[in-house]
Structure 1
Amino acid sequence: MPISEPRPSTRRQWNAWLDLTASFKYLGIYQAIVADIENGRLQPGDSLPPQRTLAKLLGVDLTTVTKAYGMARDDGLIETRTGSGTCVAGETRTSFPTTLEAPMLDLSKNSPPRTEGQEINALIVKEMGRAFATIGDVASFNYQETGGNLRHRVAGASWLTQRIEQISADRVILTSGAQSALFAICHLLSRTSRSLAVGQFCYPGIHTVARQLGLDLVPVSMDAEGLIPEDFEQACQRHALMALYVVPNIDNPTTATLPEARRLKIAEIARRHRVTLIEDDPYSNIAANGLTSLAQLAPELTWHIATLSKCATPALRLAYLCAPDIRSAQEIAGLMQAMTMMVSPLFAELASQWIDNGILQNLTQAIRAENAARLLIAGQVFADLNFSAPPQGSHIWLHLPQPWQALDFAHQAERQHIKLLPASSFSPASGHRPSESVRISLGAADNRQMLEEGLKRLRDILDQPLAFYQAMV
């Protein structure tokens, strides 16, 4: 077990301890070295334990000790001498920072991960030149049609045929990301009703739209397989719904994927009650599960949103919106013109190019593989805990052990320089039983090592009795 207080030291060998107030364990070792040099417990030439010995003594990974020693060595605090091992440097610093702030690890944003061997920034720069060459004439850099020119809509329709058969380009509208598409759809539909059905836990962006448009969110109960059709039908009977908002694959935040039978049932209920469906499906290509989209099951009722943010990069700010029919596409284009005028022709050309030459598919496969690798790390760190995770998704839904509450855990995580979102961030109403769960986004960390370190720190918080943190307040 780590020692929380330093013990009396000998002159020649450091009596090691771990500063438990540090944000990360490697910082705890580093700060203990700093403290003992400052207070004189460590003198120039005093020995530090071998790395493996210290790891075993403090109950930490070898990599944690290696990182702490490396940091102390870089700062000139310790040195390695041939035949003597690691010891305090002959001339050490006389002043140190009073606190050592670790950088904030933001696991609250559901970003796609950086993939090994595929640098998206360099790829964009490289491919942008080709896009310039393809666009060619000066007119192509001028104002374009609001929903994208014919080439861009044809490319979008081609990409969407993986999930919607026989889609025509005149039903496809290019938008500046899924959020703008979602706002425009809700603005259009709110002319007839202001009640929008959503899952009892749902994407925070729909909350933002509802607040701006003054919509009433009607929560629909969920279980491990997503929205419960029978509860959706009850909502249809009790409210004059403008639409049902649903993320069918790798739900945000619960990670649930609607099985085929539920999709059929939801489509049948929506058709019977004449309720529009807003199908926000950013993870269709990531999931690659072969399940039928709602837009395929009920095309005359469904607005289908397909962003590139999760399967390529948010930097393009581009999504494809498939309208129920041509008239609806033209109507939404009018709204989009008032909102954003048009999408970037350059980014639209770049996306079209990536669809045509297979780069988009390659990016999606790389992200899927990286997601799987990061989920494996999460599975190892939280092996004995209860959490939901899809095979290739970029986030997990962690159900906290008793007596932890989601808000308390999120607060303690932020004190340890880690951001995540509690269940209350996704709940549209207080009528449902609260869930002591948190969403942890795995893609936001720069690399797997940083992610693993952060997840282990979260695990350390859970392993410490709650009373320990309550006593610190």
Structure 2
Amino acid sequence: MTIWVPELPEQGPRYRAIVTAITEAIHREQLKPGERLPPQRRLADALRVTVGTVSRAYAEAERQGLVEGRVGSGTYVHGGERTSVAFRQTTPDGDEMLVDLSLSLPPPHPDRPQGLGEALADIARDPLALRHAVDYQHEQGMVRHREVLAEWMTRLGIAVDAEELVITQGGQHGIFLALQALAQPGERIAASMLTYPGLICVAQQLHLKTLRVPLDEAGMDVEALARLCAQQPPRLVYITPDQNNPTGVSLSESRRVRLAELAREHDFWIVEDGVQYLPPEEQGTPLYRLAPERTLYLFSTSKVIAGGLRIGTLRAPSMLRERLATLQRAQSWMVPPLMAEAVCRWIDSGAAERLLDWQLDEIAARQRLARERLASFRISGQPHGFHVWLELPAGQRAAALLEQLERQHVRVTSAEPFCVGSEPAPQAIRLCVSAARSREALTRALDTLVALLETPPDIPWRTL
């Protein structure tokens, strides 16, 4: 255990000063990966602050992905394979001024709770639907539910057949099912060097080794993947081809074709994540059409209808459906049919399509707003995507910027939780423009960010 005790400035919130000190100590390698921080009471005594102050600082450092709290053991600096501790739903902290752009959430709209209420009222008037809701159902999901979802996905530009689908409890559950069905503990999977933290978390839970593949403006570097396959072919490749999370870049058509060829050549599976929905004009050729026999496609209603209902689908080749059904049965037997019925009623009524039309217009307006405000900086993202990726100007550090933004009631995400492997995280941030309560709140957050980016960083001298 380290005996690290930082020096804190005289002014400002003490817990924030501790977080800053942890950040700087990690960058200067005074705190090394895997080292244990001092117990909270010991550090509180050394700094002459309350235990609650240290506890709050450690919690914030964990949210930023700097450290990891282990029950019964203590708090440790992250090291080796990064974990996704910064990827989780935050609880409201009572800050009414806070503009939280850290999570990929659909824009708020009164039609979401109202639509659920109408769907539930409709179900309550249907004795057969109520009976199905309280009975056990097939692991793959009720036939009617799969038919409604398949028809709707096809209208959205994702052509699938009902018999291909397994209903899941959202996209994250779909990732878990796919990886559990395809890979054994210790096997290798590949993903872009920056990828969805939920994938990293599942790989860790299933004890899979994640290989990083370079990423550029045309998406995953498929030729780099080919070189990787020549040395150590992965069991599967996870990819979000229409918009990488977090950078928003799209996989080029030529790379999609090449990826399908590589999958056949080296006998690996493709897990294609389409949860972050884009309209048909911004979609590329789905990988499940290029290599249908070895591609699993993930979709979810969480980003387009309501995240709390946890209804998604996993499109899978016929050879895998029984395996997926067995895993579903072992985990939860089935997805609650009441939730699937509510989503299907929402779709049948036409309310889901009207909500999605509004959402696409709203996101497009927010993306234009972000691009106007951030025109002087290097950004990427899709016109109807939830997030914007911002590369910081030279001299700016993401950890310090996150702390400055938090002081001004703005929250974003650094690159840290998206990194595969142990390479240093790029100095960049992800802003989820969709998550702001309103365009006015988003404008205030963007103006705050621009003001900080245009202010030269104050880097104190620490040596002679």
Give the 3 Å change call, closer, same or farther, for CA 194–134 of structure 1 in structure 2: farther
Note the alpha carbon deviations across 1:131-176, whole angstroms, 9 max, x for none: 33346354312222222111011122223335454x4322211111
- Of the three residues 264, 269, 277, the one matched with 2:262 is 269
Report the AA paired with residue 105 of structure 1: V
Unaligned runs of 5+ in 1: 1-20, 23-99
User: What's 2:439 paired with?
Assistant: 448
Residue 240 of structure 1 deviates from its aligned partner by 3.4
Contact 2:387 2:433 in 1 (8 A): yes
Structure 2 gap segments, 5+ residues each: 1-11, 14-93
Identify the structure with bigger relative contact order (alpha carbons < 8 Å, sequence gap 6+): 2
Deviation at 1:128, TM superposition (A): 1.9
- CA displacement, residues 179-202 of structure 1 (integer Å, 9 cap, x when unaligned): 111111111222386211000100
2:368 is the counterpart of 1:376: yes
Question: Following the alignment from structure 2 to structure 1, what is the Cα–Cα distance between the partners of residues 323 and 285?
Answer: 27
* SS of structure 2 residue aligned to 1:334: helix
CA-CA distance at 1:298 after TM superposition: 0.7
Moved more, 333-342 or 316-325: 333-342
| Residue identity opposite 1:446 in structure 2 | R
State the partner residue of 2:418. Answer: 426
Code of the aligned partner of 2:407: R
Aligned position for 2:106: 112
Q: Which residue of 1 aligns with 2:297?
A: 304
SS in 2 for 1:113: coil
Q: Which residue of 1 aligns with 2:351?
A: 359
Distance, in Å, in 2 between the alignment partners of 1:457 and 1:298 is 45
**8 Å CA contact 2:242, 2:283 repeated in 1:** no
The aligned counterpart of 1:229 is 222
Q: Is the 8 A contact 2:388 2:432 kept in 1?
A: yes
The answer as to whether partners of 2:107 and 2:434 remain within 8 angstroms in 1 is yes
Deviation at 1:466, TM superposition (A): 0.7
Query: Do the aligned partners of 1:406 and 1:438 also contact (CA within 8 Å) in 2?
Result: yes
Equivalent in the alignment of 2:67: none
In the aligned structure 1, how far is the partner of 2:131 from the partner of 2:367?
A: 46
Distance 1:339 1:312 in 2: 25
Q: Which residue of 2 aligns with 1:416?
A: 408
Aligned to 2:385: 393
Instruction: Report how far residue 178 of structure 1 moved.
Output: 0.7
Name the residue aligned to 1:50. none
User: Does structure 1 conserve the Cα–Cα contact (< 8 Å) formed by 2:115 and 2:346?
Assistant: no
Tell me the amino acid that sits aligned with residue 460 of structure 1. Answer: A
Distance 1:212 1:101, change over 3 A: closer
**Cα pair distance change 1:169/1:287, threshold 3 Å:** closer
**Which of 174, 180, 185 pairs up with 1:181?**
174
Separation in 1, partners of 2:277, 2:104: 15
Report the 3-state secondary structure (helix = DSSP H, G, I; strand = E; otherwise coil) of the residue aligned with 1:111. coil
The Cα shift of 1:282 comes to 1.4
Which of residues 247, 262, 286 in structure 2 aligns to 1:254?
A: 247
Cα RMSD of the aligned pairs, angstroms, is 2.3
8 Å CA contact retained: 1:193, 1:241? no
Look up the equivalent residue of 2:395 and give its one-letter code: P
Aligned-partner Cα distance in 2 for 1:173–1:187: 15
How far 1:353 sits from its partner (Å)? 2.6
For the 8 Å contact 1:164–1:295, the answer to whether it is kept is no
For 1:196, the equivalent position in structure 2 comes to 189
In 2, the alpha carbon distance for the partners of 1:271 and 1:440 equals 37
Distance 2:197 2:145 in 1: 29
CA spacing shift, 1:318–1:128, aligned 2, 3 Å:
same
Structure 1 residue matching 2:453: 3-state secondary structure: helix
Alignment TM-score, normalising by the size of structure 1: 0.73
CA contact (8 A) 1:250 1:287 kept: no
State the identity %. Answer: 30
In the alignment, what sits opposite 1:279? 272
CA 1:315–1:192: 2 relative to 1, 3 Å: closer
Alpha-carbon contact 1:287-1:392 (below 8 Å) kept? no
- Alpha-carbon spacing, 1:137–1:357, altered in 2? closer, same or farther (3 Å): closer
Distance 1:366 1:425, change over 3 A: same
Range moving further from structure 2, 415-424 or 255-264? 415-424
In 1: Cα distance, 2:179 partner to 2:95 partner: 43
The residue type equivalent to 2:404 in the other structure is Q
Q: 1:304 to 1:101 in 2, by over 3 A?
A: closer
Letter in 2 for 1:237: A
> 1:190-249 CA distances to partner (integer Å, 9 max, x unpaired)?
238621100010001011111111111101111112111101112222223110000011
Distance 1:164 1:371 in 2: 20
In structure 2, give the amino acid aligned to 1:311: V
Letter of the 2:105 counterpart:
S
CA distance in 2, matches of 1:375, 1:330: 42
Equivalent residue, structure 2, for 1:90: none
Q: Who is 2:232 aligned against?
A: 239
Letter in 2 for 1:353: R
Question: Following the alignment from structure 1 to structure 2, what is the Cα–Cα distance between the partners of residues 122 and 233?
Answer: 49
Distance 1:290 1:211 in 2: 30
Q: Is the 8 A contact 1:285 1:364 kept in 2?
A: no
Task: Count matched residues.
Answer: 368
Output aligned runs, 1:137-148, within 5 Å.
138-142=130-134, 143-148=136-141
Q: Give the aligned residue type for 2:101.
A: L
8 A Cα contact 1:192 1:242, kept in partner: no
Structure 1 counterpart of 2:399, one-letter code:
L
Residue identity matched to 2:293: E
Per-residue CA distance 1:70-121 (angstroms, 9 max, x = gap)? xxxxxxxxxxxxxxxxxxxxxxxxxxxxxx9764322111001124xx5311
Q: Which has the larger radius of gyration?
A: 1
User: In the alignment, is the contact (CA less than 8 A) between 2:398 and 2:427 conserved in 1?
Assistant: yes
Q: Secondary structure at the match of 1:363?
A: helix
